[in-house]
Structure 1
Amino acid sequence: MHKGFLSSRTINILVPVLSALFGLLMGAIVMLVSGYDPVVGYTALIEGMFGNPRAVGETIRTMLPLVLAGLSVAFAFRTGLFNIGVEGQLLVGWLAAVWVGYAFELPKVIHLPLSILVAAVAGGLWGFVPGYLKGKFKVNEVIVTIMMNYVALYVTYDLIKRFLHAGNEKTYDVKASASLASPWLSSITDGSRLHWGIIIVALAAIVMWFLLDRTTMGYELKAVGYNQHASHYAGMQVSRNVILSMTIAGAFAGIAGSMEALGTFQYMTAMTAFTGVGFDGIAVALLGMNNPFGIILSALLFGGLKSAAPQMNFTANVPSELINVIVACIIFFVACSYVIRWALNRFSKEGK
């Protein structure tokens, strides 16, 4: 068989990189057609992402929940499931972390891990429901997770308004013993909201990689995702693995909520609209090719785009909504990855 000079691994790396570049190129064309200077716009965007220590801190801070949302989507996808419910799982994790964060008086060494753990459990339980319905009754998990997003949105809103309301439609602030905030990280990034969640996110990516690629349980989860019938004949418990997969995916999303609860905001507002982080997690997972370390790089790009959008508007007078157009273009080219992969394979064979 004739092989090209580009290996399969190289092509797998090039596909998301080219998708991002093509998306940025399309964004430049849209700017040009709309009467804006793309060079000035992208210069302002890069300045807003990495131009100073504060910008770097805010870019990293914005990417943290996106990484965990992406891990949640990717974990389910690699086990044959579509977790569209990350937004809802994130919201219940956020509320759970805030409640534990202000309702208990504990030493920090116990209080902070407990708050994150309870957020993971809350998100996991929210993922367990569609997993159980899928595993036991073959109910489509996409429909259930979408519905549960709205249940989570209005349940958290009602709970805050009824029981956790501290004024201005927000909860009480979490105690310092449950906070991820870091005066040191803030000082070295000129007052950004960067917090210690960066360590949690790094550990979560390693845990997902280790779990899926280095354990028997991970092998079973992926096998069930590839072929449930073959897995059943091999003696694997398909239903249990489906439930477990969605529960773990929900736990990742719940921890994403704790990043907002204990790190960025220190409280939760009674929301009438979704945060968008859970849905952005789908794009992050797609661009990161469902690989934990690819997701980190993908989230860095998306986090930078999100955090620098106001800077682009302020400096270059380019509407910050254009960022959504760029993100949409990147997702479009990721969806067209088969065409990009085919072109790379063709180029590789012809260039040998």
Structure 2
Amino acid sequence: MKFLLPILSPLIAITSALLVGAILILLAGANPLTAYTALFQESLSSYFGFGNTLTKMTPLLFASLGVLVALRAGQFNIGGEGQIYLGALGSTLVGLYVQGLPAVIHIPLALFVGFLFGAVWGWIPGYLKALRGVNEVITTLLLNYIAVNLVSYLVQNPLMAPGAPSPYSPLIAKTARLAIILPQSLAHAGILLALLAAGILWVLLGRSPLGYQITAVGFNPIAARYAQMSVERTIMLVMALAGGLAGLAGSCEVMGLKYRLFEQVSPGYGFDAIAIAFLSRGSVVGVVLTSLFFAALRSGANVMQRSAGVPVTVVYAIQGLAVLFIAISLAVERQIKIQNSKFKIQN
């Protein structure tokens, strides 16, 4: 039962959110069954809609894994949005200025640099937290604004494509682009990389000494330090890894979807990732399933609006309700544990 809990809890929270969402749809004067049918039929059962869902799932999954691995070490990575922008910038620079390489070298190089840029952006708050005691929530949040404005400046000035009607860079080299996995759709190989990253992270956190160390630091840093674990080094490593994973989300947006750097790389994937990671209750499998759900909502929202006349804002309400329900379940579980502990002490 404990093994199923990380999967069942998000499913229950999502189901509850959809039920409350149905009430909101009724209040909007639409039929919930028609609205949900249009939403999920488009995003999951139609060929092009499913391809669009996989495309949106890619950055959500990468960024959510970044939040998740930080949470395992007791750190709150609120900087996924900025790390996405830095990862996109790194891969764009490789795609634009490194020429003459075959795709088999160019693509891994661009992905590595995107990971590296994001990792550096994640390491900075990790360093400040580990060695200076600065709250990582504040630093990661503020670094979002620096990253967004940095990319905005670059695409409006040195990286702006000649004659571009709006701020964006020239196209990256074809040898730096990810392959399309569903012909005539937007789905690209980035989703395969994201799933691979999820598998590696599942093994790392659950089956390796490093994963044990990360969990120990997150659960009780004092005990971890007593056990000769370097809490400071673990925090910096985890925050760098979190930033690198979010950076890959930006890399895939450039290399698999847009093929150039835009002023607005992400429509808020980094912030959605926070909700997804919390909704998953620390489970890598939960992150994969919840990322798919959020991607399906994003993919089918416009179709639901056209078919059933339901505002797109209802989709964002459903996302928020899902997080609210999981937060309630966590609070209830915590209260039950406290009451059980008191009962055992008394007896």
The TM-score with structure 1 as length reference comes to: 0.91
Alpha-carbon deviation of 1:99?
Answer: 1.4
Distance 1:82 1:339 in 2: 18
**1:194 matches 2:192:** no
Q: Could you say which residue in structure 1 is the equivalent of 2:343? A: none
Q: Could you say which residue in structure 2 is the equivalent of 1:68? A: 62
**Which amino acid in 2 is paired with 1:62?**
K
Answer yes or no: is the 8 Å Cα contact 1:181–1:264 preserved in 2.
Answer: no
Answer yes or no: is the 8 Å Cα contact 1:11–1:341 preserved in 2.
Answer: no
Which contiguous aligned blocks of 4+ residues in structure 1 show a shift greater than 4 angstroms?
A: 339-345
**1:228 matches 2:221:** yes
Alpha-carbon deviation of 1:284?
Answer: 1.3
Q: Could you say which residue in structure 2 is the equivalent of 1:170? A: 168
**Which amino acid in 2 is paired with 1:155?**
L
Q: Could you say which residue in structure 2 is the equivalent of 1:350? A: none
**1:291 matches 2:283:** yes
- Aligned partner of residue 171 in structure 2, secondary structure: coil
Distance 1:254 1:11 in 2: 30
Instruction: Give the direction of change, closer, same or farther, for the CA distance of 1:342–1:227 in structure 2 (3 Å limit).
Output: closer
Q: Could you say which residue in structure 1 is the equivalent of 2:318? A: 326
Answer yes or no: is the 8 Å Cα contact 1:79–1:226 preserved in 2.
Answer: yes
Instruction: Structure 2: give runs of 5+ residues left out of the alignment.
Output: 338-347
Distance 1:261 1:215 in 2: 32
**1:58 matches 2:52:** yes
Q: 1:181 aligns with which of 179, 182, 185?
A: 179
**Which amino acid in 2 is paired with 1:16?**
P
Q: 1:208 aligns with which of 197, 201, 225?
A: 201
Q: Could you say which residue in structure 2 is the equivalent of 1:348? A: none
Distance 1:324 1:294 in 2: 20
**1:149 matches 2:147:** no
Q: Could you say which residue in structure 2 is the equivalent of 1:349? A: none
Distance 1:44 1:325 in 2: 17
Alpha-carbon deviation of 1:274?
Answer: 5.8
**1:140 matches 2:132:** no
Distance 1:174 1:89 in 2: 20
Alpha-carbon deviation of 1:319?
Answer: 1.1
How many matched pairs? Answer: 333
Alpha-carbon deviation of 1:50?
Answer: 2.0
Distance 2:82 2:8 in 1: 33
Instruction: Structure 1: give runs of 5+ residues left out of the alignment.
Output: 1-6, 346-352
Alpha-carbon deviation of 1:85?
Answer: 0.3
Per-residue Cα deviation, 1:116-175 (whole angstroms, up to 9, x for no partner): 000000000000100000000111000000000001010111122221100221011111
- Which deviates the most, 69-78 or 260-269? 260-269
Distance 1:324 1:338 in 2: 21
- Which deviates the most, 242-251 or 35-44? 35-44
Instruction: Give the direction of change, closer, same or farther, for the CA distance of 1:91–1:28 in structure 2 (3 Å limit).
Output: same
Alpha-carbon deviation of 1:344?
Answer: 11
Distance 1:216 1:65 in 2: 28
Alpha-carbon deviation of 1:180?
Answer: 0.6
Per-residue Cα deviation, 1:249-301 (whole angstroms, up to 9, x for no partner): 10000011111010111111123x96200000011112222222221111110
Q: Could you say which residue in structure 1 is the equivalent of 2:210? A: 217
Percent identity between matched residues is 38
Q: 1:25 aligns with which of 19, 30, 38?
A: 19
